[in-house]
Amino acid sequence: MKKFTVLLAMFASLLLFGSHVASANDTDSKFNVSVVKSDKMRGDTSRAWFDLKMNPSEKTTLHLELTNRGDKAATFIIAATQAETQTNMAMVADRSISDVQSSVIPSLQLGSNILTVPETKVTLAAGDTREITAQVNMPSSKINGSWLGGIHIQKQVDSSDRVKNGYTNRFNYLCYVQLSNTDTVTKADLSLKKVSYEKKASAGQVDIKLQNDKAGYVADANSEVKIRQKGQSENVTDYKQTNQSIANGSVFTYQVPTDALKAGKTYVADITIHDNKNNLTWHWSQEFKVSMFLPVSGWFGDKLGKNYAWLWWLLALLALLIFLIIFFLLRRRRMVDIIEIVAGKEVQRRVAYKEYKKMLKDGMFVTLAKKVKK
């Protein structure tokens, strides 16, 4: 089925190719968006996105022009967003600022007030053009690097049109907004936090948790992940990707597909990421162990993709419960030798441990007989 998703003004391409008209001029979306230049722009002012240099606590208003080229009225959803990195190591900015706070480092968790839009929904008549504004409110403290977000515009498509034309997605436009206090361009600096493995149907997946420790982005990156069993030289996975990007200060998990790895074995992940624009390379070699309690798939056919990891844990808990029940039953039924006073004389006899405990509880003077080693 033909896809009609339009994601315009891609940040990486703007950085690579310089000046670019940021408008939705394709024949399917039927709307245009153009950027009105700001006097706060830094660097290349021909960019079709906002790269602003502003002082702490300073405010400014950004302007876009939205045109409906369709032959009937259209409704658009407008949102202020913050950049983050997806699991395929691709930078996006399609979620609200509040939703992204946990996906960036603390210094970039600056709240939703840093970029706001007064109108979140507008309807334009056929052929109409309207100005879209966004308000920038710089924080009172300096930003150590750059904050990256965007103005996200989504055209709503009627359900009748989706059925008629076979649309599978709505149309989107994104104008990035980068906010800085200086002209200095901050470069990214990545750190590895964790490597783990999870079972996916009949295959597997290595989860690589990464963090960009600096408030700078990676616009064009290549990566390679090699997986091998510890003590062996042959790689079970060699996963290479190009044209990747990483958002400012983002915390994300890079997901690498693999064949199913052996339960209980230790593997080594050899990870390399190269920033082509800034000629920076990060490399890590990290061991990780595959759990003995892997999901069990294929009991009803691999096509179902069933995940029975919960069953292993249930069986383990049941086994522990049965062991504890047997232990306490045997403890209560076991026999012990006791010494008690009967008619002023010590008498030794064998009783059940349960009876011995009851005698103590009733206040009777009894003691356990000590075994004499022969």
Please state, in angstroms and rounded to a whole number, the distance separating the CA atoms of residues 280 and 278: 6
Please give the residue that has the higher pLDDT: either 275 or 6: 275
Please state, in angstroms and rounded to a whole number, the distance separating the CA atoms of residues 331 and 352: 10
Q: How much of the chain exceeds pLDDT 70, in percent?
A: 82
Which helix (H) or strand (E) is 325 found in, with range?
Answer: helix 309-333
What is the pTM assigned to this prediction?
0.72
pLDDT score, position 325 = 86
Please state, in angstroms and rounded to a whole number, the distance separating the CA atoms of residues 265 and 251: 28
Over residues 210-252, the pLDDT tens digits come to: 999 999 999 999 999 999 999 999 999 999 999 999 999 999 9
| Count of other CB atoms within 10 angstroms of residue 302 | 12
Distance between start and end Cα atoms, the chain: 88
Query: Residue 343 pLDDT more than 60?
Result: yes
pLDDT score, position 359 = 81
The whole-number average pLDDT for the span 5-29 is 41
Q: How far is CA 153 from CA 2, 9, 64, 136, 257, in A?
A: 22, 12, 11, 17, 32
28 — pLDDT class (breaks 50, 70, 90): low
The whole-number average pLDDT for the span 303-307 is 45
The whole-number average pLDDT for the span 78-105 is 96
Closest CA to 242 of 16, 3, 9, 6: 16
Over residues 179-196, the pLDDT tens digits come to: 999 999 999 999 999 999
Question: All domains of the chain, ordered by start, with CATH?
Answer: 7-180 (2.60.40.10), 190-293 (2.60.40.10), 335-368 (no CATH)
Task: List b or e across 11-37, with b for residues whose CB sees 16 or more CB atoms inside 10 angstroms.
Answer: bbebbeeeebebbbeeeebbbbbbbee
307 — pLDDT class (breaks 50, 70, 90): low
Please check whether residue 95 is in contact with residue 104, taking contact to mean a CB–CB distance below 8 angstroms: no
